[in-house]
Protein backbone atom coordinates (compact mmCIF):
# COMPACT_ATOMS: atom_id res chain seq x y z
CA UNK A 1 0.00 0.00 0.00
CA UNK A 2 1.07 3.57 -0.67
CA UNK A 3 2.42 5.26 2.45
CA UNK A 4 0.88 8.56 3.52
CA UNK A 5 3.76 11.03 3.88
CA UNK A 6 3.25 14.01 6.16
CA UNK A 7 5.23 16.28 3.81
CA UNK A 8 2.65 15.68 1.05
CA UNK A 9 -0.49 16.29 3.11
CA UNK A 10 -2.28 19.62 2.63
CA UNK A 11 -2.18 20.86 6.18
CA UNK A 12 -0.58 24.30 6.30
CA UNK A 13 1.00 23.94 9.73
CA UNK A 14 1.62 27.03 11.80
CA UNK A 15 3.31 24.74 14.32
CA UNK A 16 6.90 25.68 13.48
CA UNK A 17 6.27 29.20 14.70
CA UNK A 18 4.48 27.91 17.78
CA UNK A 19 2.75 31.27 17.68
CA UNK A 20 -0.35 32.59 16.05
CA UNK A 21 0.57 33.26 12.43
CA UNK A 22 -2.42 32.78 10.18
CA UNK A 23 -4.49 33.67 13.22
CA UNK A 24 -7.64 35.70 12.65
CA UNK A 25 -8.13 37.02 16.19
CA UNK A 26 -8.44 40.78 16.24
CA UNK A 27 -7.01 42.70 19.19
CA UNK A 28 -9.17 42.37 22.28
CA UNK A 29 -11.42 39.67 20.74
CA UNK A 30 -12.22 36.78 23.09
CA UNK A 31 -10.61 33.54 21.96
CA UNK A 32 -10.68 29.98 23.23
CA UNK A 33 -8.45 26.92 23.35
CA UNK A 34 -10.09 24.96 20.52
CA UNK A 35 -9.95 27.95 18.16
CA UNK A 36 -6.24 28.56 18.83
CA UNK A 37 -5.32 24.87 18.58
CA UNK A 38 -7.31 24.32 15.35
CA UNK A 39 -5.76 27.38 13.69
CA UNK A 40 -2.22 26.53 14.83
CA UNK A 41 -2.57 22.92 13.66
CA UNK A 42 -3.82 23.99 10.22
CA UNK A 43 -7.17 22.26 10.78
CA UNK A 44 -9.22 25.33 9.82
CA UNK A 45 -8.41 28.51 7.94
CA UNK A 46 -10.46 31.73 8.25
CA UNK A 47 -12.41 32.73 5.12
CA UNK A 48 -14.62 35.59 6.40
CA UNK A 49 -16.13 36.40 9.82
CA UNK A 50 -17.76 33.19 11.11
CA UNK A 51 -16.84 31.15 8.00
CA UNK A 52 -13.92 28.74 7.78
CA UNK A 53 -12.22 26.46 5.31
CA UNK A 54 -12.22 22.97 6.85
CA UNK A 55 -8.90 21.44 5.82
CA UNK A 56 -8.49 17.73 4.95
CA UNK A 57 -7.79 16.42 8.51
CA UNK A 58 -10.91 18.20 9.79
CA UNK A 59 -13.00 16.78 6.97
CA UNK A 60 -11.70 13.29 7.87
CA UNK A 61 -12.70 13.79 11.52
CA UNK A 62 -16.08 15.16 10.46
CA UNK A 63 -16.77 12.23 8.12
CA UNK A 64 -15.92 9.78 10.92
CA UNK A 65 -18.23 11.64 13.29
CA UNK A 66 -21.04 11.55 10.71
CA UNK A 67 -20.57 7.77 10.36
CA UNK A 68 -21.00 7.33 14.12
CA UNK A 69 -24.05 9.64 14.06
CA UNK A 70 -25.50 7.61 11.14
CA UNK A 71 -25.12 4.42 13.19
CA UNK A 72 -26.98 5.95 16.13
CA UNK A 73 -29.74 7.44 13.95
CA UNK A 74 -30.24 4.23 11.99
CA UNK A 75 -30.45 2.30 15.29
CA UNK A 76 -33.62 4.33 16.01
CA UNK A 77 -34.98 3.69 12.47
CA UNK A 78 -33.79 7.04 11.08
CA UNK A 79 -33.91 7.43 7.29
CA UNK A 80 -31.41 9.83 5.75
CA UNK A 81 -32.44 12.41 3.17
CA UNK A 82 -31.15 15.76 1.95
CA UNK A 83 -33.15 18.98 1.65
CA UNK A 84 -32.18 22.21 -0.13
CA UNK A 85 -30.29 24.88 1.83
CA UNK A 86 -32.31 27.47 -0.12
CA UNK A 87 -35.78 27.75 1.40
CA UNK A 88 -38.79 29.68 0.07
CA UNK A 89 -39.98 32.64 2.15
CA UNK A 90 -43.59 31.52 1.62
CA UNK A 91 -43.03 28.50 3.89
CA UNK A 92 -41.46 30.67 6.58
CA UNK A 93 -44.20 33.29 6.34
CA UNK A 94 -46.86 30.59 6.77
CA UNK A 95 -45.24 29.37 10.00
CA UNK A 96 -44.73 32.93 11.25
CA UNK A 97 -40.95 32.56 11.46
CA UNK A 98 -40.00 34.80 8.49
CA UNK A 99 -40.43 37.73 10.89
CA UNK A 100 -40.08 35.75 14.13
CA UNK A 101 -36.47 34.73 13.44
CA UNK A 102 -35.45 38.37 12.96
CA UNK A 103 -32.00 39.27 11.58
CA UNK A 104 -30.58 35.76 12.20
CA UNK A 105 -32.02 34.63 8.85
CA UNK A 106 -29.79 35.09 5.81
CA UNK A 107 -32.34 36.42 3.29
CA UNK A 108 -32.00 36.82 -0.46
CA UNK A 109 -34.18 37.36 -3.52
CA UNK A 110 -33.87 35.59 -6.89
CA UNK A 111 -33.96 37.31 -10.29
CA UNK A 112 -37.76 37.10 -10.32
CA UNK A 113 -38.03 38.99 -7.03
CA UNK A 114 -39.00 35.89 -5.02
CA UNK A 115 -37.71 35.84 -1.42
CA UNK A 116 -35.66 32.99 0.05
CA UNK A 117 -33.56 32.28 3.09
CA UNK A 118 -30.55 30.05 3.67
CA UNK A 119 -31.93 27.43 6.06
CA UNK A 120 -30.79 27.65 9.69
CA UNK A 121 -33.18 24.72 10.33
CA UNK A 122 -35.70 22.74 8.25
CA UNK A 123 -39.00 22.27 10.13
CA UNK A 124 -41.03 24.07 7.43
CA UNK A 125 -39.35 22.28 4.52
CA UNK A 126 -39.68 18.75 5.93
CA UNK A 127 -43.31 19.27 7.01
CA UNK A 128 -44.16 20.49 3.52
CA UNK A 129 -42.42 17.41 2.09
CA UNK A 130 -44.40 15.01 4.28
CA UNK A 131 -47.66 16.93 3.66
CA UNK A 132 -47.12 16.36 -0.09
CA UNK A 133 -47.48 12.58 0.49
CA UNK A 134 -51.25 12.74 0.11
CA UNK A 135 -52.06 9.15 1.11
CA UNK A 136 -49.77 8.65 4.10
CA UNK A 137 -51.11 5.79 6.25
CA UNK A 138 -50.74 5.23 10.00
CA UNK A 139 -48.97 1.99 8.99
CA UNK A 140 -46.04 4.08 7.64
CA UNK A 141 -45.54 5.85 10.97
CA UNK A 142 -43.38 6.57 12.85
CA UNK A 143 -41.38 8.45 10.21
CA UNK A 144 -37.92 9.52 11.39
CA UNK A 145 -36.21 11.59 8.70
CA UNK A 146 -32.78 13.17 9.13
CA UNK A 147 -30.02 14.89 7.19
CA UNK A 148 -26.49 16.18 7.75
CA UNK A 149 -26.07 19.46 5.96
CA UNK A 150 -24.74 23.01 6.03
CA UNK A 151 -26.74 25.51 8.03
CA UNK A 152 -26.55 29.29 8.06
CA UNK A 153 -27.15 31.85 10.82
CA UNK A 154 -26.34 35.53 10.58
CA UNK A 155 -24.62 35.65 13.97
CA UNK A 156 -24.19 39.24 15.19
CA UNK A 157 -20.81 38.35 16.73
CA UNK A 158 -19.34 35.12 15.40
CA UNK A 159 -16.58 33.99 17.76
CA UNK A 160 -14.67 31.06 19.24
CA UNK A 161 -13.94 29.50 15.85
CA UNK A 162 -16.32 26.66 15.03
CA UNK A 163 -18.20 27.08 18.33
CA UNK A 164 -20.18 30.07 17.09
CA UNK A 165 -19.93 30.47 13.32
CA UNK A 166 -22.23 31.65 10.53
CA UNK A 167 -21.96 28.56 8.38
CA UNK A 168 -21.77 25.15 10.03
CA UNK A 169 -22.75 21.49 9.72
CA UNK A 170 -25.68 20.09 11.62
CA UNK A 171 -27.50 16.77 11.87
CA UNK A 172 -31.22 17.53 12.05
CA UNK A 173 -33.91 14.87 12.48
CA UNK A 174 -37.68 15.39 12.15
CA UNK A 175 -40.13 12.78 13.39
CA UNK A 176 -43.80 12.17 12.60
CA UNK A 177 -45.93 10.01 14.90
CA UNK A 178 -49.60 8.96 15.07
CA UNK A 179 -50.23 10.11 18.67
CA UNK A 180 -48.75 12.24 21.43
CA UNK A 181 -47.85 9.07 23.35
CA UNK A 182 -45.99 7.65 20.33
CA UNK A 183 -44.24 11.00 19.72
CA UNK A 184 -43.04 11.11 23.34
CA UNK A 185 -41.73 7.54 22.98
CA UNK A 186 -39.78 8.67 19.88
CA UNK A 187 -38.52 11.67 21.86
CA UNK A 188 -37.09 9.41 24.58
CA UNK A 189 -35.52 7.08 21.99
CA UNK A 190 -33.70 9.89 20.19
CA UNK A 191 -32.52 11.43 23.49
CA UNK A 192 -31.10 8.01 24.44
CA UNK A 193 -29.35 7.81 21.04
CA UNK A 194 -27.70 11.18 21.74
CA UNK A 195 -26.52 9.92 25.15
CA UNK A 196 -25.13 6.79 23.46
CA UNK A 197 -23.28 8.94 20.87
CA UNK A 198 -21.57 11.13 23.51
CA UNK A 199 -20.70 8.05 25.59
CA UNK A 200 -19.06 6.40 22.55
CA UNK A 201 -17.04 9.57 21.94
CA UNK A 202 -15.98 9.61 25.60
CA UNK A 203 -17.31 13.15 26.09
CA UNK A 204 -18.42 14.40 29.55
CA UNK A 205 -21.92 15.64 28.63
CA UNK A 206 -24.95 16.75 30.61
CA UNK A 207 -28.59 16.67 29.46
CA UNK A 208 -30.57 19.66 30.78
CA UNK A 209 -34.13 20.98 30.63
CA UNK A 210 -34.27 23.83 28.11
CA UNK A 211 -36.45 26.57 26.68
CA UNK A 212 -38.19 25.94 23.33
CA UNK A 213 -37.21 29.35 21.86
CA UNK A 214 -37.89 30.13 18.20
CA UNK A 215 -38.41 26.43 17.29
CA UNK A 216 -41.44 26.11 19.58
CA UNK A 217 -43.13 23.05 21.06
CA UNK A 218 -43.75 22.07 24.67
CA UNK A 219 -40.79 19.91 25.81
CA UNK A 220 -37.12 20.58 25.14
CA UNK A 221 -33.72 19.35 26.32
CA UNK A 222 -30.19 20.47 25.52
CA UNK A 223 -27.01 18.41 25.59
CA UNK A 224 -23.98 20.35 26.85
CA UNK A 225 -20.27 19.80 27.34
CA UNK A 226 -19.37 21.72 30.53
CA UNK A 227 -16.64 24.27 29.67
CA UNK A 228 -15.54 27.72 30.82
CA UNK A 229 -16.10 29.25 27.37
CA UNK A 230 -19.67 27.90 27.24
CA UNK A 231 -22.27 30.57 26.60
CA UNK A 232 -25.06 28.85 28.54
CA UNK A 233 -25.37 28.89 32.33
CA UNK A 234 -26.49 25.54 33.74
CA UNK A 235 -27.59 24.39 37.19
CA UNK A 236 -26.97 20.77 38.19
CA UNK A 237 -27.95 18.59 41.14
CA UNK A 238 -24.78 16.90 42.51
CA UNK A 239 -26.75 13.61 42.75
CA UNK A 240 -27.86 13.99 39.08
CA UNK A 241 -31.59 14.21 39.86
CA UNK A 242 -32.04 17.54 38.10
CA UNK A 243 -30.30 19.68 35.48
CA UNK A 244 -31.53 22.79 33.68
CA UNK A 245 -30.48 25.74 31.61
CA UNK A 246 -30.77 28.82 33.88
CA UNK A 247 -33.06 30.51 31.33
CA UNK A 248 -35.83 27.97 32.11
CA UNK A 249 -35.90 28.58 35.86
CA UNK A 250 -38.46 30.81 37.52
CA UNK A 251 -36.72 33.08 39.96
CA UNK A 252 -33.72 31.91 41.92
CA UNK A 253 -34.06 28.15 42.28
CA UNK A 254 -31.12 27.05 44.43
CA UNK A 255 -32.02 23.51 45.52
CA UNK A 256 -32.92 20.30 43.68
CA UNK A 257 -36.71 19.79 43.43
CA UNK A 258 -36.21 16.02 43.93
CA UNK A 259 -33.68 15.67 46.76
CA UNK A 260 -33.28 19.21 48.11
CA UNK A 261 -29.47 19.24 47.56
CA UNK A 262 -27.92 22.62 46.76
CA UNK A 263 -27.63 23.09 42.98
CA UNK A 264 -24.19 23.79 41.51
CA UNK A 265 -23.66 26.17 38.60
CA UNK A 266 -21.50 25.62 35.53
CA UNK A 267 -21.18 26.88 31.96
CA UNK A 268 -21.83 24.64 28.98
CA UNK A 269 -21.31 24.45 25.21
CA UNK A 270 -24.57 23.31 23.63
CA UNK A 271 -23.89 20.42 21.22
CA UNK A 272 -27.40 18.96 20.84
CA UNK A 273 -31.02 20.09 21.24
CA UNK A 274 -34.28 18.12 21.17
CA UNK A 275 -37.88 19.39 20.90
CA UNK A 276 -41.29 17.80 21.15
CA UNK A 277 -43.30 19.97 18.72
CA UNK A 278 -46.82 18.51 18.80
CA UNK A 279 -48.79 19.80 15.78
CA UNK A 280 -47.22 23.28 15.61
CA UNK A 281 -45.90 22.74 12.06
CA UNK A 282 -48.10 19.87 10.84
CA UNK A 283 -51.19 22.08 11.37
CA UNK A 284 -49.71 24.86 9.18
CA UNK A 285 -48.81 22.57 6.25
CA UNK A 286 -51.67 20.14 6.86
CA UNK A 287 -49.27 17.20 7.26
CA UNK A 288 -51.80 14.42 7.85
CA UNK A 289 -51.89 10.63 7.88
CA UNK A 290 -54.93 8.36 7.60
CA UNK A 291 -56.02 6.58 10.80
CA UNK A 292 -57.29 2.93 10.95
CA UNK A 293 -60.78 4.40 10.42
CA UNK A 294 -59.45 6.16 7.28
CA UNK A 295 -59.82 9.61 8.91
CA UNK A 296 -57.16 12.30 8.26
CA UNK A 297 -55.22 13.18 11.44
CA UNK A 298 -52.42 15.68 12.02
CA UNK A 299 -49.03 14.07 12.64
CA UNK A 300 -47.37 14.69 16.02
CA UNK A 301 -43.84 15.97 15.44
CA UNK A 302 -40.47 16.25 17.12
CA UNK A 303 -37.17 17.75 15.95
CA UNK A 304 -33.65 16.96 17.03
CA UNK A 305 -30.38 18.78 16.26
CA UNK A 306 -26.71 17.85 16.70
CA UNK A 307 -24.01 20.42 15.90
CA UNK A 308 -21.51 18.36 13.89
CA UNK A 309 -18.76 20.98 13.53
CA UNK A 310 -19.52 22.27 17.02
CA UNK A 311 -19.00 18.77 18.49
CA UNK A 312 -15.56 18.66 16.80
CA UNK A 313 -14.50 22.01 18.29
CA UNK A 314 -16.17 21.41 21.67
CA UNK A 315 -14.49 18.02 22.06
CA UNK A 316 -11.08 19.64 21.39
CA UNK A 317 -12.06 22.38 23.87
CA UNK A 318 -12.82 19.97 26.73
CA UNK A 319 -10.30 17.15 26.10
CA UNK A 320 -7.15 19.05 25.05
CA UNK A 321 -4.33 20.68 26.99
CA UNK A 322 -3.27 24.28 26.27
CA UNK A 323 -0.76 23.22 23.62
CA UNK A 324 -1.78 19.70 22.49
CA UNK A 325 -4.97 18.56 20.76
CA UNK A 326 -6.78 15.52 22.16
CA UNK A 327 -9.48 14.08 19.90
CA UNK A 328 -12.13 11.56 20.91
CA UNK A 329 -10.05 8.61 19.67
CA UNK A 330 -12.90 7.24 17.52
CA UNK A 331 -12.89 10.35 15.28
CA UNK A 332 -9.23 11.46 15.26
CA UNK A 333 -8.32 12.42 11.65
CA UNK A 334 -5.46 9.88 11.69
CA UNK A 335 -5.00 7.19 14.34
CA UNK A 336 -1.24 6.96 14.23
CA UNK A 337 1.95 8.73 13.25
CA UNK A 338 5.27 7.00 12.54
CA UNK A 339 8.43 8.99 13.28
CA UNK A 340 11.67 7.65 11.73
CA UNK A 341 15.12 8.70 13.03
CA UNK A 342 16.75 11.98 12.00
CA UNK A 343 18.80 11.82 8.82
CA UNK A 344 22.47 11.36 9.67
CA UNK A 345 21.82 10.09 13.24
CA UNK A 346 23.38 6.83 14.41
CA UNK A 347 19.91 5.20 14.49
CA UNK A 348 19.33 6.13 10.82
CA UNK A 349 19.16 2.49 9.68
CA UNK A 350 16.04 2.21 11.90
CA UNK A 351 14.09 4.13 9.20
CA UNK A 352 13.81 0.97 7.06
CA UNK A 353 12.69 -1.08 10.07
CA UNK A 354 10.01 1.51 10.90
CA UNK A 355 8.76 1.54 7.30
CA UNK A 356 8.52 -2.26 7.56
CA UNK A 357 6.32 -1.88 10.65
CA UNK A 358 4.14 0.62 8.73
CA UNK A 359 3.71 -1.82 5.82
CA UNK A 360 3.17 -4.92 8.02
CA UNK A 361 0.60 -3.04 10.10
CA UNK A 362 -1.28 -1.96 6.96
CA UNK A 363 -1.38 -5.60 5.86
CA UNK A 364 -2.36 -7.04 9.26
CA UNK A 365 -4.90 -4.28 10.08
CA UNK A 366 -6.16 -3.00 6.71
CA UNK A 367 -8.72 -0.70 8.39
CA UNK A 368 -5.75 1.32 9.74
CA UNK A 369 -3.91 1.51 6.39
CA UNK A 370 -5.45 4.88 5.50
CA UNK A 371 -5.23 6.06 9.11
CA UNK A 372 -1.43 6.01 9.42
CA UNK A 373 0.92 8.89 8.57
CA UNK A 374 4.69 8.71 8.17
CA UNK A 375 6.40 11.93 9.32
CA UNK A 376 9.10 11.96 6.65
CA UNK A 377 10.57 15.34 7.68
CA UNK A 378 13.82 13.57 8.63
CA UNK A 379 15.76 16.86 8.59
CA UNK A 380 14.04 17.55 11.95
CA UNK A 381 14.89 15.87 15.26
CA UNK A 382 12.60 13.16 16.64
CA UNK A 383 11.82 15.49 19.57
CA UNK A 384 10.61 18.29 17.30
CA UNK A 385 8.39 15.92 15.28
CA UNK A 386 7.03 14.29 18.46
CA UNK A 387 6.07 17.76 19.74
CA UNK A 388 4.21 18.43 16.46
CA UNK A 389 2.49 15.02 16.65
CA UNK A 390 1.25 15.88 20.16
CA UNK A 391 -0.06 19.21 18.95
CA UNK A 392 -1.96 17.49 16.10
CA UNK A 393 -3.47 14.92 18.45
CA UNK A 394 -2.65 11.53 16.87
CA UNK A 395 -3.87 8.98 19.46
CA UNK A 396 -0.72 6.87 18.85
CA UNK A 397 2.84 7.80 17.83
CA UNK A 398 5.37 5.07 16.92
CA UNK A 399 9.04 6.14 17.05
CA UNK A 400 12.23 4.47 15.85
CA UNK A 401 14.43 5.71 18.73
CA UNK A 402 17.59 4.52 20.49
CA UNK A 403 16.33 0.95 21.07
CA UNK A 404 15.65 0.29 17.38
CA UNK A 405 19.13 -1.25 17.03
CA UNK A 406 18.43 -3.97 19.64
CA UNK A 407 17.68 -7.53 18.54
CA UNK A 408 14.77 -7.76 18.02
CA UNK A 409 14.23 -4.02 17.37
CA UNK A 410 12.18 -2.19 20.02
CA UNK A 411 10.00 0.81 19.13
CA UNK A 412 8.82 3.63 21.39
CA UNK A 413 5.01 3.95 21.33
CA UNK A 414 3.23 7.00 22.76
CA UNK A 415 -0.40 6.39 23.70
CA UNK A 416 -1.43 10.05 23.79
CA UNK A 417 -4.91 9.73 25.29
CA UNK A 418 -3.70 7.49 28.12
CA UNK A 419 -0.55 9.59 28.59
CA UNK A 420 1.76 6.53 28.61
CA UNK A 421 4.89 5.43 26.74
CA UNK A 422 5.44 1.75 25.87
CA UNK A 423 8.48 -0.03 24.41
CA UNK A 424 7.34 -2.76 22.03
CA UNK A 425 8.60 -5.07 19.32
CA UNK A 426 6.92 -4.97 15.90
CA UNK A 427 4.53 -7.75 16.98
CA UNK A 428 3.73 -5.83 20.17
CA UNK A 429 2.93 -2.68 18.16
CA UNK A 430 0.54 -4.58 15.87
CA UNK A 431 -1.12 -6.30 18.85
CA UNK A 432 -1.61 -2.97 20.67
CA UNK A 433 -3.10 -1.26 17.60
CA UNK A 434 -5.40 -4.19 16.78
CA UNK A 435 -7.69 -2.82 19.53
CA UNK A 436 -8.06 0.57 17.80
CA UNK A 437 -11.52 1.25 16.41
CA UNK A 438 -12.29 3.43 13.42
CA UNK A 439 -15.88 4.03 12.29
Cα(261)–Cα(428) distance, integer angstroms? 50
> Coil, strand or helix: which one is 118?
strand
User: Is the distance from CB of 3 to CB of 369 less than 8 angstroms?
Assistant: no
pTM of the predicted protein model:
0.93
Quick: pLDDT tens for 7-17.
998 876 655 44
Q: Which of 270, 147, 264 is nearest to 208 (CA)?
A: 270
- Can you give the pLDDT at residue 18? 40
Judging by beta carbons within 10 Å of its beta carbon (0-12, 13-18, 19+), is residue 191 exposed, middle or buried? middle
- Can you give the pLDDT at residue 427? 96
Kindly list the structural domains of the chain, giving each domain's residue range(s) and its CATH number in brackets, ordered by start.
6-23+334-434 (3.40.50.800), 33-319 (3.30.930.10)
Residue 109: φ, ψ to 5°: -120, 145
Cα(400)–Cα(422) distance, integer angstroms? 12
Quick: pLDDT tens for 353-402.
999 999 999 999 999 989 999 999 999 999 999 999 998 999 999 999 99
Residue with the bigger pLDDT between 204 and 214: it is: 204
Amino acid sequence: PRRLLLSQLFQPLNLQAGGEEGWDGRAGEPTCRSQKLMLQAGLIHPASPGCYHYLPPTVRAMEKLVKVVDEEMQAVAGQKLNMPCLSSAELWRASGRWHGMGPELFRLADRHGKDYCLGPTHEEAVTELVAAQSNLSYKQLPLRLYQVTRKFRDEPKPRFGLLRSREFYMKDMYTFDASEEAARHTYDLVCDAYCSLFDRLGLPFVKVQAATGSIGGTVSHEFHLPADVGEDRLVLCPARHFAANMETLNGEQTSCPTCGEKLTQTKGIEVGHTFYLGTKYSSVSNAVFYSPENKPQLAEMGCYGLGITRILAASIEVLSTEDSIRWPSLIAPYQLCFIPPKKGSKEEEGATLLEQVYDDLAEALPHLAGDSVLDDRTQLTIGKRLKDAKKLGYPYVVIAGKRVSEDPPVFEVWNQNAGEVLFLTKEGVIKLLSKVQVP
